[in-house]
Structure 1
Amino acid sequence: MSEYAMHTDAHSNFWSTTLGERPASRPRLTANVQADVVIVGAGFTGLWTAYYLKRLAPEREIVVLEAERVGHGASGRNGGWVVGNLAGLERHIGGLSREERRTCCGVVADNVDEVGRVLAHEGIEADFNKGGAIYAAARYRDQIAIQRDYLQHLHELGHSEANCCWLDAEQLSEKARFRNGHGGIYHRQVATVNPAKLVAGLAECVERLSVTIHEQSRAETLSHHKVSTREGSVESPMVVCATEGYADRFLDFKRHVIPVQSLVIATEPLSEARWQEIGMAERPAFADASRLINYGHRTADGRIVFGARGNYYLGARSKADQAIDDEAIRMRRDLLVDLLPALEGVRVEYGWGGSLGLSRNFRPHAILDRRDGLATAGGYAGEGVAASHLFGRTLADLILERDSELVRMPWAFANDSHRRLIKRWEPEPLRWLAAQAITFSYAGEEALMRRDKPAPLLKPALRRLNDRFASIIE
């Protein structure tokens, strides 16, 4: 028997196991119906859009179509971070004045508290915990400079020093004890959540508001003012495509937003003695200064959920199943133990993965094309738990033509088309080859840092190359 093969695919995702027995599937769409708004995708983006549409305009008839079950895609599989930032934010606001940048950063920072407020107001129990996030220099001495530069970037971007501050080694150890805790950034406006509980609770909430959800109702065509499934259709003046990294059937969207795989593990519940060694009493999220991204947090029941180093599959294939193989689990476990040596010998009980959406512009978007009756949001690049809430609110305001602060944000586009705003990705195999080259170069930079020896020519050259790689999709 495999070291980690203790669950079927359906039970490889820790979050899913916290829901208890799932109710029967919601009815499929088996008729031709009409609605004021039809939303494709019952994940965070689709459900938050439905929630705010109903709260703001309760008379509107809203129908949500889901190909599988609620939360089947990235919304039910992710790492559970609620981040007061946006991946790619600098590409939206870099040209704005300092005051305008501060306003935008204030909106994304306050979004975290707004998520918590709505969950409390609606009685959605999703283990929401605002413990902040630690971006640590925790393995290599070279990471100190990397994190110092990133903190300066956050401040120049417009994030306040009160929300983003430096921790020296002693301050870091008070929050979490890493193997080499040299220091790091503390970002106050970050929370964590159980995403499966959140998406399930949100679906029940919108149903109480009279939103209709059809599961097992895969949208096969999106045309002007109509979405068709195998057994029925919805005619509507407004169609919202909320598929993010799962737009396989819609080539027009898949050319602009591609799926990248994110893989995650969950440990067994840790003993109190182990937690005394590790710290994390406030249950912060944590990551270290690696381009090969890693991220984790302490769950409500005392486990660590930890993800790292996503993959891109040739042909831009979304990950439909959830289980990951032993090698993927072992690599993430070893990296976690490298960060937190107190976890030596810990048992990994779950390993799963899903697909996030990455736009060719590497900037998230909320777009309304009123002429074609089509709206979409996505391109969250792995930070979709908070962004989907913010962009769902934004789509609702755009659709209802509200003159709100959100529709004036630089990531909101009214009366425009995703075809014009989001560049198309290059054809295969160019995308795949580029992804492999970038991953190889990032790994080389990390290997040099691991050696902890001077390389006065090679290190700066490789860092400049990787900085260039990080910006080529602007």
Structure 2
Amino acid sequence: MRDDRHHVFWASTVDSQGQRRSLVNRRSADVAIVGAGFTGLWSAYYLKTLAPHLEIAVIEAERVGHGASGRNGGWVVGNLAGLERYIGGLPMAQRKACCRLVADNVDEIGRTLAREGIEADFHKGGAIYAAARYPDQIAIQQDYLAHLHELGHDEANCYWLDADQLAGKVRFRNGYGGIHHRQVATVNPLKMVTGLAATVERLGVTIYERSPATSMVKGEVSTHEGAIEAPVIVCATEGYARDFHDFRRHVIPVQSLVIATEPLSASTWQAIGMAERPAFCDASRLINYGHRSADGRLVFGARGTYRFGAKPKADHAISDADIAMRRDLLTDLFPVLEGVRITHGWGGSLGLSRSFRPHAILDRRSGIATAGGYAGEGVAASHLFGRTLADMILERDTDIARMPWAFPHAAHARLIKHWEPEPLRWLAAQTITYCYAGEEALMKRQRHAPLLKRALTKTNDFFASIIE
């Protein structure tokens, strides 16, 4: 994929794609999908397998997998960010059923990839949510485990590891303990998205590249050189909707930046552990995440920043300072990696909805559907929400279509609040970032400072309430 392989590790593992044609002139279809990432392609896949007679066209502004779907951290999480906002008030039996469906989604992705012959390095090794740097992180992770159980996640899938049990799976510098979440896998996301594109094309779906959407109205989506008339249009742009329609006011992009090491030696892996190749993170507010790749690298990322004006990250490269920050955080977790070469550094934009919960919406009056707001957990969520959109569009009465995130008779403009105008968004993001940094500094110095911690928490809660 062009010179992406110099920055994005995943791109270096995939043969260059032949360029697909752009959309020119006017076309017609039964369903038009904007965005050839996971949400758009899973929607196309399930629509076409459930209703093979449908004519489905996908338009992509750049190339398949150009956005977050081709340059994320590769986690396939059996949970949904913001799920508690949907099911927190439901009876436990319903919460458990919803959590079971979300957890089983990981296995369903693995089965689908195997069935379709998509080689994407899918590996289900679970995830470790560790207290791995500061003693204060023990309480943070234990509170999170209690939250998972209260939400309805199976205790057999989410359980506590003491320090010795943790060391048996991953050897952090300061491994105090952590959560083992069994329903998490890892994947090479670019292999997955390009394999999925080839699969839907084999089923008869048409994909147009280099065809950025300029407008989306009832019955038609337009580009600079053409248009597709369709009674149903799916907006599957997540954090990349800035240049058209009003979706940009409801879902904004936040950057996440990732690095990859050179392949590590057998002795280094022996020192680190990770024989089962689990994903891992610690309780940092920076939301770090990593895993062992199929070829023996460490892929490691941490949340980046919010750009003023809600600008998505269009380029792939990240700065030397961004790489150094993530390298230092990685070597803090694993000192044995000091001096290991970082071969790749890249970034992309995840989508945050104004209500901080994911959504699958079908406005039958306008014929426009959308899904997104995954808050960084979109590799798995996009599969589930693509299935949800397909069931709603085809009016199938299924368990998935009845889930609380499915809105088959709603308009996104009424369901999802608008984000506040600038500079309020940027100021809130900066304040939260500084509060997080303050909390990190206190934990690092092992200072209790209860009054200061309480002040930081209240300040963070105040600005977070802007997005409640």
What is the correspondence of 1:52-71 to structure 2 with a 5 Å cutoff?
52-71=46-65
> Are 2:151 and 1:160 equivalent residues in the alignment?
no
What is the correspondence of 1:204-223 to structure 2 with a 5 Å cutoff?
204-223=198-217
Aligned to 1:308: 302
Aligned to 2:250: 256
Aligned to 1:270: 264
Aligned to 2:12: 17
The residue type equivalent to 1:391 in the other structure is: F
Partners of 1:463 and 1:141 lie apart in 2 by: 18
> Are 2:258 and 1:279 equivalent residues in the alignment?
no
Partners of 1:422 and 1:194 lie apart in 2 by: 31
Tell me how far 1:202 sits from its aligned partner: 0.1
> Are 2:219 and 1:225 equivalent residues in the alignment?
yes
Say which of 348, 351, 354 aligns to 1:354.
348
The residue type equivalent to 1:11 in the other structure is: H
Tell me how far 1:160 sits from its aligned partner: 0.9
Runs ≥4 residues deviating over 3 A = 7-10, 463-472
What is the correspondence of 1:300-339 to structure 2 with a 5 Å cutoff?
300-339=294-333
Partners of 2:216 and 2:379 lie apart in 1 by: 25
> Are 2:398 and 1:388 equivalent residues in the alignment?
no
> Are 2:34 and 1:40 equivalent residues in the alignment?
yes
What is the correspondence of 1:1-150 to structure 2 with a 5 Å cutoff?
11-20=6-15, 22-150=16-144
> Are 2:369 and 1:375 equivalent residues in the alignment?
yes
**Partners of 1:8 and 1:323 within 8 A in 2:** no
Partners of 2:466 and 2:152 lie apart in 1 by: 23
Aligned to 2:358: 364
Percent identity of equivalent pairs = 73
The residue type equivalent to 1:186 in the other structure is: H
Tell me how far 1:10 sits from its aligned partner: 5.3
Partners of 1:81 and 1:408 lie apart in 2 by: 26
When the two structures are aligned, how many residues end up with a matched partner? 467
Partners of 1:249 and 1:169 lie apart in 2 by: 49
**Secondary structure of residue in 2 paired with 1:175:** coil
**Secondary structure of residue in 1 paired with 2:467:** coil
Tell me how far 1:230 sits from its aligned partner: 1.3
Tell me how far 1:471 sits from its aligned partner: 5.0
Partners of 2:415 and 2:13 lie apart in 1 by: 39
Gaps of 5+ in 2: none
Q: Under a length normalisation based on structure 1, what TM-score does the superposition of the two structures give?
A: 0.97
Tell me how far 1:461 sits from its aligned partner: 3.9
**Partners of 1:47 and 1:206 within 8 A in 2:** yes
Tell me how far 1:454 sits from its aligned partner: 2.8
**Secondary structure of residue in 2 paired with 1:109:** helix
Deviations 1:293-343 (A, max 9, x none): 100000000001100132100000011100001000000000000011111
**Secondary structure of residue in 1 paired with 2:352:** strand
Partners of 2:250 and 2:90 lie apart in 1 by: 25
Aligned to 1:3: none
**Partners of 1:9 and 1:321 within 8 A in 2:** no
Tell me how far 1:251 sits from its aligned partner: 4.1
Partners of 2:80 and 2:465 lie apart in 1 by: 16
Tell me how far 1:465 sits from its aligned partner: 4.1
Tell me how far 1:469 sits from its aligned partner: 4.5
> Are 2:420 and 1:422 equivalent residues in the alignment?
no
**Secondary structure of residue in 2 paired with 1:457:** helix
Say which of 192, 195, 209 aligns to 1:198.
192
Distance 1:471 1:161, change over 3 A: farther
Tell me how far 1:9 sits from its aligned partner: 5.3
Tell me how far 1:290 sits from its aligned partner: 1.2
Deviations 1:14-67 (A, max 9, x none): 0011002x1321011112111000000000000000000001000000000001
**Secondary structure of residue in 2 paired with 1:282:** coil
Which has the higher mean CA deviation after the structures are superposed, 249-258 or 326-335? 249-258
Tell me how far 1:464 sits from its aligned partner: 4.7
The residue type equivalent to 2:115 in the other structure is: H
**Partners of 1:10 and 1:322 within 8 A in 2:** no
